[in-house]
Structure 1
Amino acid sequence: MGFSKGVFLILYLFLFFFNHSFSSLGLSSKELSEIPINFLKFAKKSEVFDWMVGIRRKLHENPELGYEEFETSKLIREELDKMGISYKYPVAVTGVIGSIGSGKPPFVAIRADMDALPIQEKVEWDHKSKNPGKMHACGHDAHVAMLLGAAKILQENHKLIKGTVLLVFQPAEEGGGGAKKMIDAGALENVEAIFGLHVASHVPLAEVESRSGPLLAGSGFFESVISGKGGHAAIPQHSIDPILAASNVIVSLQHLVSREADPLDSQVVTVAKFQGGGAFNVIPDYVTIGGTFRAFSKESLIQLKQRIEEVIMGQAAVQRCNATVNFFSNEKPLFPPSVNDKDLHKLFQKVAGNMFGSDGVKDMQPLMGSEDFAFYQEVIPGYFFFLGMKDETMKQNPLPHSPYFRLSEDGLPYGAAMHASLVVRYLLEYQMEIPVVTVDSHDEL
């Protein structure tokens, strides 16, 4: 009797995998391939497009720094309320997690970061930043608008959601480790996979770029105060010059990459901050330097961190100075490298190919930039890609973190539709990979 039940189960599974397709879920292969196209058509409707543009411009006018995104978060919650989408708030100070679908497994997530940068905008247009010294110079305003756009698409097509989609609106990506705090607050509980995107102002519209495996470097930040003894510049023998010590430190830090790192292991150490003094004829008591270090492995990051501290302390001592080194372990945690899951890459290629065609899906080389999306990828399979939003009206397209940063709002529908398509297709294919087989306790054969 047990043998008969086993034979029945094997035959059932065989028939499921070879004679059943997505038609068992009400969709043919052709209909599956049309999901991204249909979602894009919906996102391009004038009322949907104008709504996303309006959200993006409101956010651009009112940028907020990490963990200060209270008005941004309020706008997001108001829009989710209008769509009838439930959410959790606050998560990690200002974060919001929306939920669409059955509320039951499988769970998949899509993420947008919300924070701006401490940059004074120099682009003159009707929606210029109204907050002095703050600017959405990295496109996070567009990220929020596109995730809300995806929410609208998903809510309109909720019958296609075979599980639950979580909408992760995250604070403090710009060095604040907001993703880590979201994880610590339970944002990824029961989540099987997560997707994220970033605008690319140098990539043409209707194109996306990504790769399987290592995509972005891990990174850390450091700051050092080098203290000496101030005095008159005309009699340096009576002073201990911290500027000279800091200069030797900076030169020596460059040797960490050029002489200690494996040439095949890409690494960067950059000193981007040097502050001290204020007069042409006065040697200051101290100077402050700071910067970033980056690599594609945690081991290399840890090694760089150790050597940066040793070099700073040692070179300062050579020049008779004292030094302190701060790696911002709480405020700015060590970011791990971003590594794209290979199976999710295959899904991305299918979905993006359906939407953009093969010519619009580009493979890219790894970048030394970093993203705290990597914290999610350390915990669960994750996938991150770049969306073309080049403003063709500009002769030059400044890269992110520039006071002249611009993007084309015509790219908003593509990002919204990609977000929605990826999670819907993921959930549909998840159902195929894990069929639910029920066998009665008694044998019917």
Structure 2
Amino acid sequence: MASFTLFHLFIAIILHVFLAATPIFSVSEQLSSSTIPTRFLDFAKKPETFDWMVNIRRKIHEYPELLYEEFKTSELIRIELDKLGISYKHPVAGTGVIGYIGTRKPPFVALRADMDALPMQEMVEWEHKSKVPGKMHACGHDAHVTMVLGAANILKQHEKEIQGTVVLVFQPAEEGGAGAKKVIEAGALKDVGAIFGLHVAPNIRVGEVGSRSGTLMAASGFFEATINGKGGHAAIPQHSIDPILAASNVIVSLQHLVSRESDPLDSQVVTVAKFQGGDAFNVIPDSVTIGGTFRAFSKESFLQLRHRIEQVIVAQAAVQRCNATVNFLEGEKPFYPATINDGKLHKHFQTVAGTLLGASKVIEVPPMMGAEDYSFYQEVIPGYFFWLGMQNASNERLHSLHSPFFTVNEDALPYGAALHASLAATYLLKHQNVVPFVEAMYNDEL
């Protein structure tokens, strides 16, 4: 204690003032954060790593499973995590798997992949075509799972460098089942400080990514309405109350909600995609069922649109002497909030993706009216979602998401795996608990 002089005290005070005004970064961050993306991409591009990912993706593609039925997919994930020596929890939210890499201590950061397929018949003829009739991975979720497993492989190989815990989220039921909401309700992410997710993009080149700060995708909801009239013979319509005519007027009036009631600068969409009524050419049916979706970027606009959809359907049906009931299907198809990227994570993403790919390969994209259940995570955790390019160098046009001709360019897999791993590892370095140098000096002296 005697060795602690006034000179030491003076130096300690100066350092304390300096460090209080300066961001504190650990030595490991200074040495590693700038090199992590390149090292991780090199690892992901190794032939053995790439071939391993391709094999996993094709296995998942051959056996697509619909929402909350992802049993084979979940089993495959657990087998691969076991091989990598990664611990996990299962089941979570039904078929979900939550894996852990690192210290199992704070800080925590999460990577998310959705597992479910779509009820579609694949029309692409190739060796690994879906073996399940009427089911297909037409939205790239097989690639999403593969890339988070690829990130897990990278991170496990570099686990000693991870200053915290990476949480791997393999969630069910993105396609209308709000699996993300159930993962949150299960308490699987209560300690997580940030979460990252991606989606393959057929219209962005391989080696490029697209995203933005703030609103990226819209809020979305479903509606279904039954319009009841009085059936009868087509030759004597005066003895009937025609629900088909009423439903037709309803559909036209619903479009006026966007064209004449909403602010042209506040994007909204109402789409009627279902119209069922009548089985004969000469018989007016008793009832008609219509259904569709509605979308908006702001919560206020979304709720107003919901309110007006119900009003218009009921009132327009009444004009034609029919009555109508409206169901928003919230129990089976919950409303999806807007996907809104955290501003601080946007800067983090730009830095990491720019280092890994080059700044010119990080593209600012406009918001779109599609919806993602990833948005449920963003309501409770700072989150960031981005598009991963798949278009090859020849610019050959790929089919859109949800097309029976949709294909995945597997050359994108290393980029997605390395980006996931880099975003998580560098986030943990930036947010690890650091003991200030002044405190350490006092402890040494005292």
Which bin holds the TM-score, normalised by the shorter protein?
Answer: over 0.9
Distance verdict in 2 for CA 1:5–1:394, change over 3 Å: closer
1:25 paired with 2:22, answer no
**Letter of the aligned partner of 1:119 in structure 2?**
M
Equivalent runs, 1:143-292 vs 2, <5 Å: 143-292=144-293
Structure 2: distance between partners of 1:384 and 1:6: 48
1:91–1:185 contact (8 Å) kept in structure 2: yes
Alignment of 1:52-71 (within 5 A): 52-71=53-72
CA distance in 2, matches of 1:312, 1:161: 55
Q: Say yes or no: does 1:47 pair with 2:48.
A: yes
Question: Residue in 2 aligned with 1:11?
Answer: 15
- Structure 1 position 231, deviation (Å): 2.1
What RMSD in Å do the two structures reach over aligned CA positions?
2.5
Equivalent residue runs for 1:123-142 within 5 Å: 123-142=124-143
CA–CA distance in 1 between the matches of 2:444 and 2:162?
Answer: 34
Distance 2:80 2:124 in 1: 28
Query: Does 80-89 or 271-280 show the bigger shift?
Result: 271-280
Indicate conservation of the 8 Å contact 1:391/1:407, yes or no. no
Distance 1:6 1:96 in 2: 54
- The 10-residue stretch of structure 1 (5-14 or 60-69) with the greater mean CA deviation from structure 2: 5-14
Equivalent pair of 1:390/1:407 in contact (CA under 8 Å)? no
Q: TM-score, normalised by structure 2?
A: 0.93
Decide whether the 8 Å contact of 1:201 with 1:391 is kept in 2: no
C-alpha distance in 1 between matches for 2:383 and 2:23 = 31
For the structure 1 residues 318 and 435, does the alpha-carbon distance in structure 2 shift closer, same or farther, using more than 3 Å as the test? farther
Query: CA–CA distance in 2 between the matches of 1:85 and 1:142?
Result: 20
Question: Equivalent residue for 1:420?
Answer: 421
Match in the other structure for 2:343:
342
How big is the shift at 1:14? Answer: 2.7
Code of the aligned partner of 2:288: V
- How many Å separate the matches in 2 of 1:393 and 1:19? 45
What is the CA-CA distance between 1:431 and the residue it aligns to? 2.6
Deviation sequence 1:331-362 (CA, Å, 0-9, x none): 21111111111111111011111111112110
**TM superposition shift of 1:13:** 6.5
CA distance in 2, matches of 1:236, 1:61: 52
2:198 counterpart SS class:
strand
Could you report, residue by residue, the CA deviation over 1:58-78 in whole angstroms, capped at 9, with x for unpaired residues? 111111111111111111111
Q: Are the aligned partners of 2:102 and 2:159 in contact in 1 as well (CA < 8 Å)?
A: yes
Cα deviations by residue, 1:29-59 (Å, 9 ceiling, x for unpaired): xx42221111111111111111111111111
- Residue in structure 1 matched with residue 378 of structure 2 by the alignment: 377
Question: Which residue of structure 2 aligns with residue 357 of structure 1?
Answer: 358
Question: In structure 2, the residue corresponding to 1:191 is in which secondary structure?
Answer: coil
What are the within-5 Å matches in structure 2 for residues 367-406 of structure 1? 367-391=368-392, 395-406=396-407
Change (3 A) 1:131 1:95: same
Letter in 2 for 1:304: L
How far, CA to CA, are the matches of 2:13 and 2:180 in structure 1? Answer: 43
Query: 5 Å matches for 1:98-109?
Result: 98-109=99-110
Moved more, 39-48 or 235-244: 235-244
Task: State the Cα distance separating 1:320 from its structure 2 match.
Answer: 1.7
Q: Which residue of 1 aligns with 2:307?
A: 306
Deviations 1:230-279 (A, max 9, x none): 22222222222111111111100001111111111111111111122222
- The AA in structure 2 aligned to 1:282 is V
Cα 1:6/1:178, change in 2 over 3 Å: farther
Contact 2:111 2:420 survives alignment (8 Å): yes
CA contact (8 A) 1:177 1:331 kept: no
Deviation at 1:407, TM superposition (A): 2.0
Q: Indicate how the Cα distance of structure 1 residues 12 and 133 shifts in structure 2: closer, same or farther if over 3 A, else same.
A: same
Q: Distance in 2 between matches of 1:188 and 1:265?
A: 33
Instruction: Provide the secondary structure at the position in 1 that maps to 2:388.
Output: strand
Retained in 1: the 8 A contact 2:114–2:172? yes
Task: Give, in whole Å, the separation in 1 of the partners of 2:245 and 2:69.
Answer: 38
Contact residue 222 and residue 328 of structure 1 kept, 8 A: yes
Is 1:328 aligned with 2:329? yes
- Between stretches 5-14 and 387-396, larger displacement belongs to 5-14
State the Cα deviation string for residues 408-431 of structure 1 (Å, max 9, x = none).
Answer: 011000000000000000001113
Amino acid in structure 1 at the alignment position of 2:87:
S
Could you tell me whether the CA contact under 8 Å between 2:33 and 2:429 is conserved in 1? no
What's the CA shift string for 1:294-341, capped at 9, x where partnerless? 111111111111111111111111112222211111221111111111
Partner SS for 2:35 = helix
Distance 2:419 2:155 in 1: 11
Instruction: Give the secondary structure class of the aligned counterpart of 1:116.
Output: coil
- Quote the residue 1:78 is aligned against: 79
CA deviations over 1:108-131 (Å, ceiling 9, x no partner): 001000111111111111111111
Q: Which runs of 5+ in 2 are unaligned?
A: none
Distance 2:23 2:219 in 1: 45
Q: What number of residue pairs does the alignment pair up?
A: 441
Runs of 4+ aligned residues of structure 1 deviating over 6 Å after TM superposition are 3-7, 439-443
- CA separation of 1:334 and 1:6: change in aligned 2, threshold 3 A: farther
1:90 is matched with 91
* Contact 1:200/1:386 (<8 A) preserved: yes
User: What is the CA–CA distance in structure 2 between the aligned matches of 1:145 and 1:363, rounded to whole Å?
Assistant: 25
The 3 A distance-change label for structure 1 pair 235 and 348 is same
> Structure 1: which amino acid aligns with 2:285?
P
3-state SS of paired residue (1:99): strand
Cα deviation digits, residues 359-415 of structure 1 (max 9, x gap): 211011111111111111111110000000125678432211111111201100000
Matched, 1:34 2:35: yes
